[in-house]
């Protein structure tokens, strides 16, 4: 029986599944409203990956606690999420969904991850509840 579940971990997994689903299905927007906001696609990529980094970082914090310094797990999370974003773009290029891969999407994803890291740093430094202290210097 799990006493103290890692809700951030569950939310992170659900978020990644949601991004994957939305990224790999085709949308027929011909019947919808014709709204032309510049860079909307890039803003969505940025926001999705920023939230993924926040959820992933909070899940890691819950999982490893004070056992390790935050740099190593956050580095692995960042690399993993960059590779994940590149994988999704590659799948968009080869799957028959009518979607296309764009290098600028990978760039927007990476900027979102960077913003997520900055926000995590602010969260961990400002909140004594979430502070990621180095108890063991591994």
Q: Would the CA dihedral through 80, 83, 88, 91 be positive or negative?
A: negative
pLDDT 10s digits, 82-102: 999 999 999 998 988 777 888
32 inside domain: no
pLDDT 10s digits, 3-17: 778 899 999 999 999
- Rounded CA-CA distance 110/104 in Å is 10
77 inside domain: yes
46 inside domain: yes
Longest dimension (CA), the chain: 58
Q: The domain containing residue 13 runs over which residues?
A: 8-21+40-126
**What is the rounded average pLDDT for all residues in the chain?**
83
- Cβ neighbours for 7, distance < 8 A, ≥ 6 positions apart: 62
> Considering the entire predicted model, what is its pTM?
0.80
65 inside domain: yes
- Is 41 or 19 the better-scoring residue by pLDDT? 19
């Amino acid at each position: 029986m799990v006493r103290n579940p890692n809700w951030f971990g569950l939310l992170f997994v659900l978020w990644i599944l949601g991004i994957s689903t939305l990224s790999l299905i085709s949308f027929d927007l011909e019947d919808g409203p014709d709204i032309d906001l510049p860079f909307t696609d890039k803003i969505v990529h940025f926001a999705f990956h920023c939230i993924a980094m926040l959820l992933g970082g909070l899940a890691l914090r819950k999982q490893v606690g004070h056992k390790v310094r935050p740099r190593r797990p956050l580095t692995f999370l960042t690399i993993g999420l960059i590779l994940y974003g590149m994988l999704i773009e590659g799948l968009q290029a080869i799957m028959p969904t009518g979607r296309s891969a764009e290098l600028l999407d990978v760039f927007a994803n990476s900027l979102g991850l960077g913003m997520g890291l900055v926000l995590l740093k602010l969260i961990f430094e400002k909140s004594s509840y979430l502070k990621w202290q180095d108890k063991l210097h591994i």
